[in-house]
Chain A
Amino acid sequence: MADPARVKPVVGVSEAPAERPTQSEGSRDAPGSSGKVSEPAAVQSTTREQGKAVSPSRSAEEAAAAGEEEDGSSSLHPPPAKKLKVEHDKKKEKRHKVDEDEIQKMQVLVSSFSEEQLNRYEMYRRAAFPKAAIKRLIQSITGSSVSQNVVIAMSGIAKVFAGEIVEEALDVCEKWGDTPPLQPKHMREAVRRLKSREQVPNTKHKKILFH
């Protein structure tokens, strides 16, 4: 029986914009988790201002270009270069609007969570691998030091990887008619499935063509 409180995380793209809302969820599990809640709002407003500042200057450029072009070409309506600029501009505005829609939808969703769902969502956002341990692990493999960005990227990917396995294991568990907590047999079956989809990297087994 599936856990009704199980919140399936939305695919990675929509996750980042949702991390900007000024919820009292506390620190994001992002790098530099100093946990200032006012920061996300400041960051968000600066990017929005930048986006708006870019578009008026762009459209002024386009108007000037349009004036010039009309004298020269008679038959072609918008020349391809200008069309690309307009399209890019529209896409950027649409992306900002989509971001804001996404954020609003997330806020509506989270505000309607039950207590247990809120707990689970909080754990989902906050849980992260300790940067020091990841850095130590990578450095023990490379033998040389690695930059901070590498540690940030690696711990982020590792969390997504863990999430993929747990989700697949929950699917297996449900399919076999068991209940959570997950047992090792579910985990192993999940890994087997992910391996066949090549989502688990494996360089130990060399595939020899024409064996």
Chain B
Amino acid sequence: MAEEEDDPGFDEDLDDGGNGVDSGQGKRKRLFSKELRCMMYGFGDDQNPYTESVDILEDLVIEFITEMTHKAMSIGRQGRVQVEDIVFLIRKDPRKFARVKDLLTMNEELKKTLKAFDEANYGS
């Protein structure tokens, strides 16, 4: 799978890589274009980021998710992806680790609150 750094000249000119020389994932439909644009603006980029940059970022994110999934499948329970595996893989990166812990804690609290709310309503 060719990475973006291998063919530096081609990314800017050929937008969707219609020819044979594309960056490996050019044929796939863009999954996260809209969300990534908003995200890049939120993280500090211009209000209208370049399409090529958004494409590069999408490829990177998909590669990241793919790698994490493969690693998670190879540890713990083989062939399955579980939350504990992800937390284990992330343990060395403080930012991501803290973020995952917070997200899961918040989700638990939310579920508890909604459950209590529903039960309270059920009586009335």
Contact = CB atoms under 8 A, between A and B. Distances in A.
B53 A182 contact: yes
B38 A127 contact: yes
A190 B1 CA distance: 20
A141 B50 CA distance: 29
Chain A at the B interface: SS class: helix
Contacts of A142: 69, 73, 79-81
A12 interface: yes
Given A9-B43, A200-B64, A165 B57 contact: yes
Contacts of B64: 158, 161, 200-201
Contacts of B21: none
Given A130-B35, A188-B8, A188-B56, A30 B93 contact: no
Nearest to A146: B81
A39 interface: yes
A153 B100 contact: yes
B46 A12 contact: no
Contacts, number: 218
Interface in A91-138: 120-130, 133-134, 137-138
B61 A158 contact: yes
A182 B60 CA distance: 15
A184 B40 CA distance: 13
Interface residues of B, number: 65
Contacts of A16: 98-99, 102-103, 105-106
Contact of A157 (B44, B56, B86): B86
Interface in A154-211: 154, 156-167, 169-170, 180-188, 191-192, 199-204
Interface residues of A, number: 77
Given A19-B106, A184-B12, A137 B40 contact: no
Contacts of A75: none
A8 interface: yes
A3 B44 contact: yes
Given A30-B110, A187-B57, A202-B67, A123 B39 contact: yes
Contact of A166 (B50, B57, B81, B107): B57
Contacts of B45: 166, 170, 180-182
A147 B44 contact: no
Given A152-B103, A157-B99, A181-B49, A137 B65 contact: yes
A46 interface: yes
Given A11-B94, A126-B38, A183 B44 contact: no
B102 A15 contact: yes
Interface of B: 1, 4-5, 8, 11-12, 31-32, 35-36, 38-46, 48-50, 52-53, 56-57, 60-62, 64-71, 73, 79-83, 86-87, 90, 93-100, 102-107, 109-111, 113-114
